[in-house]
Amino acid sequence: MKFAILGAGAVAGYFGARLDAAGEDVTHIARGAHLEAIRSSGLRVESANGDLHIDPAKATDDPAEIGPVDYVIFAVKLFDTEASGAMAKPLLGPGTTVVTLQNGVESVEVLSGILGAEHVMGGTAYISSVIAEPGLIRQTGTFATMVFGEADGGRSERGEKLETACRGAGFDVEFSEAIETRIWMKFLILVAMSGITSVTRKPVGELRHDPDIRRLYENAIAEAGEVGRRRGISLPEDAVAKQMAAVDNFPPEMVASMVHDLNGGKRLELDWLSGAVCRLGREAGVATPVHDTLYAALKPYKDGT
């Protein structure tokens, strides 16, 4: 099948490389030094799950050079959603599916307005990885899972074909019948991780056993969960306990991707993470003091340096 990886960075680039190595037709859409490195030296992955070197690797910064594909794996930064959604239009044919693996909870709605709801499938990813240098993706730990699903919770031929391709590429995959719940469950832990590891500039292993910081994690997760429930999202009653158990199982050296952006002086996804909890909380009538504080503390850095 034909794939375009739009935002071929640390997350989508990893899954795209695995699909490429398994024989799928993959083109990576990137820019700058990362694009030039892929073009000149291929795409490398360093991982405990097995290193890869895709060389040659197809890469471009112009989707019009690719044309219609079967699947677009969409994983740009949240502040680039609208512009990248418009840029994706040349990739669409009648049966093209755009799977968003972005961090927030509003991507499906935004992309549906740009590309048409019939083309968009919600998704999320569980992986800790970083672009260690242009052309090189380095994974922390071994977990790497892609989750996606139809909005109505049903099965579909396009979902089953994608599931088969992902299994063939050797990473974990789930064709979920409750994708909205899965996206929000990821969001609960992500907004806590991104805010807390960024404010402290510390990895999770140095934070999770401190009773005060652990309480902060719990409150951050619970707050986002209450916002989701007020918006009609079905979340398990033990959502906080489930996500704290996940925090306890993260590699000790893990930090949220926002920490890498913060340390690199790059623009942050803050407005779509803790900022979104605050904004959606106000709309739903939910107080969000934890995320108000995390957002305010990080706001001076949100546009980069």
Per-residue pLDDT tens over the stretch 193-231: 999 999 999 999 999 999 999 999 999 999 999 999 999
Residues 142 and 223 occupy one common structural domain: no
Least confident of 93-97, 224-228, 254-258, 280-284: 254-258
Question: In the structure, what pLDDT confidence band is assigned to residue 26 with cuts at 50, 70 and 90?
Answer: very high
Q: Is the peptide bond before 56 cis (omega within 30 degrees of 0)?
A: yes
Please state, as a whole number, how many other Cβ atoms lie within 10 Å of the Cβ of residue 269. Answer: 24
According to DSSP, the β-strands at 71-74 and 25-29 are unpaired
Domain count for the chain, please give it. 2
Read off the pLDDT of each residue in 43-71 and give the average, rounded to a whole number: 97
Instruction: Say how far apart CA 257 and CA 177 lie, in whole Å.
Output: 28
Tell me what pLDDT residue 63 has: 97
Residues 187 and 159 occupy one common structural domain: no
Residues 173 and 223 occupy one common structural domain: no
Q: Which of residues 119, 146, 177 is at a domain's end?
A: 177
- Report the predicted TM-score, pTM, of the whole model to 2 decimal places: 0.93
**290 closest CA partner among 267, 273, 266, 302:** 273
Tell me what pLDDT residue 141 has: 86
Residues 168 and 65 occupy one common structural domain: yes
**67 closest CA partner among 39, 33, 38, 29:** 29
Residues 187 and 169 occupy one common structural domain: no
- 8 pLDDT above the threshold of 90: no
Read off the pLDDT of each residue in 78-107 and give the average, rounded to a whole number: 97
Enter the tokens of residue 31.
Answer: 């820019």
Enclosing domain of residue 167: 2-177
Read off the pLDDT of each residue in 41-60 and give the average, rounded to a whole number: 96
DSSP designation for 268: P
What digits encode the pLDDT tens for the residues 107-159?
999 999 999 999 999 999 999 898 999 999 999 889 999 999 999 999 999 99
Tell me what pLDDT residue 281 has: 98
- 52 pLDDT above the threshold of 90: yes
**88 closest CA partner among 64, 124, 123, 113:** 64
Tell me what pLDDT residue 305 has: 82
Tell me what pLDDT residue 187 has: 97
**133 closest CA partner among 264, 301, 267:** 264
Read off the pLDDT of each residue in 273-282 and give the average, rounded to a whole number: 98
Read off the pLDDT of each residue in 26-54 and give the average, rounded to a whole number: 96
Tell me what pLDDT residue 14 has: 97
Read off the pLDDT of each residue in 253-265 and give the average, rounded to a whole number: 94
Tell me what pLDDT residue 240 has: 98
Tell me what pLDDT residue 48 has: 94
> CATH number for the domain including 137?
3.40.50.720
CB crowding 274-286: b at 16 or more within 10 Å, else e:
bbbbbbbbeeeeb
Say which residue the tokens 């499906």 belong to. Answer: 108
CB 95 within 8 A of CB 158: yes
